[in-house]
Amino acid sequence: MFENLSDRLQRVFTQLGRKGKLTEKDVDEALREVRMALLEADVNFKVVRSFVARLRGRTVGSEVLDSLSPSQQVIKIVHEELTALLGEPSRLAASSSPPTVILLVGLQGAGKTTTAAKLALHLRKQGQQPLLVAADPYRPAAIKQLQLLGSQLSIPVFTQDGVKPPDLAANAIRQARSNGQSPVIVDTAGRLHIDEELMTELEEIKKKAPPTEILLVADAMSGQDAVSAAGEFQRRVGITGLILTKMDGDARGGAALSVKEVTGVPIKFVGVSERPEGLEPFYPDRLASRILGMGDVLSLIEKAQETFDETKAQELQKKMRSNTFNLEDFLDQMRQIRKMGPLNQIMEMIPGLNRLTSGAGQPSVDESDLKRIEAIILSMTPNERQRPEIIGGSRRRRIARGSGTSTSEVNQLLNQFKQAQQMMKMMAGGKMPKNIAGLFH
Amino acid sequence: MFGRFFRRDAKVDEGVKKTRSSFFGRISGLLGRTEITGELWDDLEELLISADVGVDITEEILGSLRVRHESGEFKSGEDLKLGLQEELIDLLKLEEHEAPPLLANGLTVVLVIGVNGVGKTTSIAKLGKYWSGQGRKIILAAGDTFRAAGAEQLEVWAERLKLPCVGSQQGADPSAIVFDAISAAKARGYDLVIADTAGRLHTKVNLMDELRKIRRVIDRHEVPSRSLMVLDGTTGQNGIMQASAFAEAAGLDGIIVSKLDGTAKGGMVFSIVADLGAPVRFIGTGETADDIAEFDPETFVGALFDTD
């Protein structure tokens, strides 16, 4: 069901390609696959309909029909259009008359309280002096939750027993103004968009504590109905930005597109991980790839970060920056990758690499490859591992004998390593390498 | 939406206005008409997809209905609607052996699991009240030792419901808490332990391992244990990945679909039940301890077509 879009499109075009020249009807076939992929990604039904209709205009031109690789062209177009739709990332507004007030709203369980703490930490790191406001008097221990978070982060939390949220928020702003605290981040209770009482309360909060920003906190795994809630919040109090949470899961995140379309407001942040540091800027092209099921290198990095030893990761970073990454480190990384989990899963996350797993059902890099690489490196002297450039012909032959492999396999490893070094250099320089698959060939 | 069917007290406030898109009104109108048109099939597809039923099942069902229609089975839109409801209900029905009674006769441990924010703790409050009402002697285990005030949240509920609760500090080992709760239950003659756990994304290997460990530790007590997954009714297709992963890590003896008092329909359960054979046991319809109902396929499917 969650078959990769590029695989599906390839299949469609391979079947069609046998007929000779592609026609508009053939492109419609492809667009059907795109439509399915988007629906499976939880993009809203109506949004998909209008998006695919728009796509048709672009895809029935010669750009696709005359192309040597029409599936690649379609993907390129779809990705571009999706990225454009998701919009540019945008900053938080600041109030011309401090304090800046940020109101967090959303359905139950979206992650407002955790996000409030993350936002506060993020802004404090930027030199501001945030004040958190616990304006959820309903949910058991909600106030306690925010207080604990505040105390863990040394960020003040404003609470007032028995005061209703609209007045409470107003009082918090008054305090912030006199103490020079800004921004004031107001955490509210999760509420249904059809709960008249609570939606009215929200309007009251807005009236008594006019916010600079009203951010809708939305769960990345939301389904088709996400637009109903978003639309209603927009209608009742107006939304100025979106924060997508739980993006470290494997939800495709199509609801993000729908909510953006329906509210017309920018996605300002994404939440990844429950930790207070887990707030990141929004990258439209990454989300577009994710929605299309095209692999998410970011997830791979995050997964890697979770299993990698923290100190080793820092050492690796240092080595990458100073270009001292050697075969010892390579061996180390291989072992770490092994710890990350079945290679299949990792491969599926890397665009381009995932194609290698789908056809044969077997990854072309497997455990025996890793064992072989390990044996080769272990047959090297420490000096050779640290300075692989000294490994000439006679050394290669010795290493091959010692590891029970052939000189061509040793050569292959050294080439792979050189490519890895180059990839490290590019990553350290901030560029993502285009062809990670090349690493394994 | 579901609240209207299941709320026992008169919470249907005049002021609680449920916004419903005119779409559903149209569907109801169309289905009542005699003609079965191409537009009707499109509208049915939209109804199902919008309910989060998912592309695969939608195509399967509509395909099956088309075949039946071609053989002359449906004379009107109303017939078609009934046919559709039939197919949907069928997907939700499980064999006896697939859905045995959730609780054993004697001491049972119910482990409540799920991703972050789905409503595990609130659901436990509801289950606590519900099963107390059936005569069970319950002890709660505040096994969310990760989230700030996670244990406190359950303790507030325990206080309100007058149920004993085993809790601990943030950062404590959840397995130990659950183990202790079971020991206490045995010592005091309780017959049900309901254990809360921290929300966890099913993609986090180490957190799913922790869940496996909790189940292993429970097994040391040699008491029947059940895993109940709480699934947020507003979740999209990811619900299926969640159910699958949690089933693999901790077993899946039942699902509670929460937050069905909103406008989401919880349609991903069709895939989950059909593909995983995991029974839906309860639905949650609000934030109070009364907002729970036993799952009934007919009522659930009826609500898909509800136009208020």
Distance CA B145, CA B147 (A): 6
The topology (CATH level 3) of A5-86 is: Four Helix Bundle (Hemerythrin (Met), subunit A) (1.20.120)
Residue of A nearest to B170 (CA): A148
Which contacts of B242-248 are long-range, i.e. CB under 8 A and separated by 24 or more positions? B242/B114, B242/B115, B242/B202, B243/B272, B243/B276, B243/B278, B244/B276, B245/B202, B245/B203, B245/B208, B246/B113, B246/B114, B246/B202, B246/B208, B246/B211, B247/B276, B247/B278
Sign of CA dihedral B293, B297, B298, B302: positive
Q: Is residue A140 classed as helix, strand or coil in its secondary structure?
A: coil
Average pLDDT over residues B140-159: 96
Closest by CA position to A246, among listed A214, A269, A265, A213 = A269
- Kindly give, in sequence order, each residue whose CB lies less than 8 Å from that of residue A161, ignoring residues fewer than 6 positions away: none
Q: Do domains B22-92 and B100-304 have the same CATH topology?
A: no
pLDDT band at B84 (very low <50, low <70, confident <90, very high): very high
pLDDT at A402: 87
pLDDT at A392: 84
Taking CB atoms and an 8 Å cutoff, what residues of chain A touch B2?
A: none
Owner of token pair 């199902």: B48
Inter-residue contact B54 to B271 (CB < 8 Å)? yes
Taking CB atoms and an 8 Å cutoff, what residues of chain B touch A107?
A: 234, 259, 262
Is A203's Cβ below 8 Å from some Cβ in B? no
pLDDT at B231: 98
pLDDT at A59: 82
End-to-end CA distance of chain B: 8
Inter-residue contact A376 to A329 (CB < 8 Å)? no
Cross-chain Cβ contact A249/B265 below 8 Å: no
Residue of A nearest to B286 (CA): A192
Residue of A nearest to B15 (CA): A196
As a whole number of angstroms, the longest Cα–Cα distance in chain A is 82
pLDDT band at A9 (very low <50, low <70, confident <90, very high): confident
SS3 of A167-179: the string is HHHHHHHHHHHHH
Q: For residue B52, give how far its alpha carbon lies from the nearest alpha carbon of chain A (Å).
A: 6
Interfacial A residues in 109-148 facing B (CB < 8 Å): 109-111, 138-142, 144-148
pLDDT digits (tens, 9 = 90+) for A23-32: 778 788 889 9
Is A342's Cβ below 8 Å from some Cβ in B? no
Average pLDDT over residues A272-288: 91
Residue A437 pLDDT > 60: no
Instruction: Tell how strand B280-284 and strand A101-105 pair up.
Output: unpaired
pLDDT at A438: 39
Residue A305 pLDDT > 80: no
Angle at A264 between CA A271 and CA A188, to 5 degrees: 50
Higher pLDDT: B157 or A62? It is B157
Higher pLDDT: A294 or B211? It is B211
pLDDT at B98: 76
Computed over every residue of chain A, the mean pLDDT equals 83
pLDDT band at A89 (very low <50, low <70, confident <90, very high): confident
pLDDT band at B116 (very low <50, low <70, confident <90, very high): very high
Cross-chain Cβ contact A36/B264 below 8 Å: no
Average pLDDT over residues B99-125: 96
Closest by CA position to B56, among listed B94, B28, B91, B86 = B91
Higher pLDDT: B100 or B195? It is B195
Higher pLDDT: A223 or A4? It is A223
Q: Which of A224, A272, A273 to mutate to test the interface with B (most CBs of B within 10 A)?
A: A224
pLDDT at B126: 98
User: Cis omega before residue A99 (within 30°)?
Assistant: yes
Lowest mean pLDDT among A51-60, A177-186, A277-286, A368-377: A368-377
Residue A176 pLDDT > 70: yes
The radius of gyration of chain A's CA atoms, rounded to the nearest angstrom, is 26
Q: Cα torsion for B265, B271, B274, B276, to the nearest 10°?
A: -120
Cross-chain Cβ contact B153/A192 below 8 Å: no
Average pLDDT over residues B27-39: 68
Residue B25 pLDDT > 50: no
pLDDT at A316: 67
CATH of A101-294, one of 3.40.50.740, 3.40.640.10, 3.40.50.300, 3.30.420.40: 3.40.50.300
Distance CA A133, CA A208 (A): 14
- Count Cβ atoms within 10 A of the Cβ of residue A208 and give its class: 0-12 exposed, 13-18 middle, 19 or more buried: middle
Residue of B nearest to A144 (CA): B149
Average pLDDT over residues A172-197: 97
Inter-residue contact A262 to B21 (CB < 8 Å)? no
- Kindly give, in sequence order, each residue whose CB lies less than 8 Å from that of residue B202, ignoring residues fewer than 6 positions away: A249, A250, B115, B208, B241, B242, B245, B246, B249
Closest by CA position to A251, among listed B151, B203, B62 = B203
Number of C-beta neighbours around residue B63 at 10 A: 10
Q: How far is CA B225 from the centre of its chain?
A: 18
Q: What pTM value is reported for the model?
A: 0.79
Residue B167 pLDDT > 60: yes
pLDDT at B175: 96
pLDDT band at B14 (very low <50, low <70, confident <90, very high): very low
Number of C-beta neighbours around residue A46 at 10 A: 17
Superfamily assignment of B22-92 in CATH?
A: SRP54, nucleotide-binding domain (1.20.120.140)
The topology (CATH level 3) of A299-440 is: 434 Repressor (Amino-terminal Domain) (1.10.260)
Average pLDDT over residues A318-342: 69
pLDDT more than 90, % of chain B: 78
Owner of token pair 């006019």: A210
Residue of A nearest to B154 (CA): A140
- In total, chain B counts a number of residues equal to 308
Closest by CA position to B278, among listed B100, B59, B57, B84 = B100
pLDDT digits (tens, 9 = 90+) for A189-198: 999 999 999 9
Closest by CA position to A360, among listed A344, A340, A345, A372 = A344
Taking CB atoms and an 8 Å cutoff, what residues of chain A touch B115?
A: 221, 246, 249
Taking CB atoms and an 8 Å cutoff, what residues of chain A touch B170?
A: 148
Sequence spans of domains, chain A: 5-86, 101-294, 299-440
Average pLDDT over residues B120-143: 98
Lowest mean pLDDT among A181-195, A235-249, A360-374, A384-398: A360-374
Lowest mean pLDDT among A194-208, A375-389, B180-194: A375-389
Inter-residue contact A229 to A193 (CB < 8 Å)? yes
The topology (CATH level 3) of B100-304 is: Rossmann fold (3.40.50)
As a whole number of angstroms, the longest Cα–Cα distance in chain B is 67
Sequence spans of domains, chain B: 22-92, 100-304
Lowest mean pLDDT among A211-215, A335-339, A390-394, B198-202: A335-339
Inter-residue contact A211 to A175 (CB < 8 Å)? no
Q: Is residue A316 classed as helix, strand or coil in its secondary structure?
A: helix
Q: Supply A395's token pair.
A: 């050394």
pLDDT more than 70, % of chain B: 88
Lowest mean pLDDT among A74-88, A186-200, A233-247: A74-88
pLDDT at A383: 85
Average pLDDT over residues A388-414: 86
Average pLDDT over residues A151-161: 97
- Kindly give, in sequence order, each residue whose CB lies less than 8 Å from that of residue A27, ignoring residues fewer than 6 positions away: A56, A59, A60, A64, A65, A70, A74
ipTM over 0.85: yes
At A232, which helix (H) or strand (E)?
helix A226-237
pLDDT at B6: 39
